[in-house]
Amino acid sequence: MKKSFYLFILSSVLFLSCQKQYSQSTNTVSPEIFADKIEKTAEAQILDVRTPTEFNAEHLFNAKNIDWLGTEFDAKSATLDKNKDVFVYCRSGARSKKACARLKELGFTSIYELDGGFINWSTDGHASTKE
């Protein structure tokens, strides 16, 4: 009985420690923090994962469009530096979460996701190409 209990505790600790390490490479941040980090990062890699139509209508300055729903996400992501910060956003946050998970799998080490996507960015009055 004691052996089973200790095995359960050990397994739980190992599981939770692995989960924490996995989640540390993506930071979901507010529009304010996202803008501040981009401003403080030389040659920031800003990744817009919306469709080209959405991107062409309006996007963050210096953003690169790699459509999450397209067929070339992995290939186009390979053009980015995996060891530099990458800033990811979509319209509302659903696609960017998936894109961030994929970027982690591809070996990116520091990912910032815009909480609430472009909708929150615009609502908070941050600059974009539309202005």
Position 131 scores a pLDDT of 58
CATH of the domain at 64: 3.40.250.10
11 assigned to some structural domain? no
CA Rg value for the chain: 18
Domain count, the chain: 1
Instruction: Tell me how far apart the alpha carbons of residues 24 and 51 are, in angstroms, rounded to a whole number.
Output: 28
Quick: pLDDT tens for 64-77.
999 999 999 999 99
Quick: pLDDT tens for 89-109.
999 999 999 999 999 999 999
Position 111 scores a pLDDT of 98
41 assigned to some structural domain? yes
> Residue 72 sits in which domain range?
25-123
Residue 19 has pLDDT above 50, yes or no: no
Instruction: Tell me how far apart the alpha carbons of residues 87 and 62 are, in angstroms, rounded to a whole number.
Output: 11
Instruction: Tell me how far apart the alpha carbons of residues 8 and 70 are, in angstroms, rounded to a whole number.
Output: 43
48 assigned to some structural domain? yes
Residue 20 has pLDDT above 50, yes or no: no
Mean pLDDT over the full length of the chain: 88
DSSP-derived 3-state class of residue 5: helix
Q: If phi over 0 gives left and psi between -120 and 50 gives alpha, with beta otherwise, what is residue 116? A: left
100 assigned to some structural domain? yes
Position 11 scores a pLDDT of 61
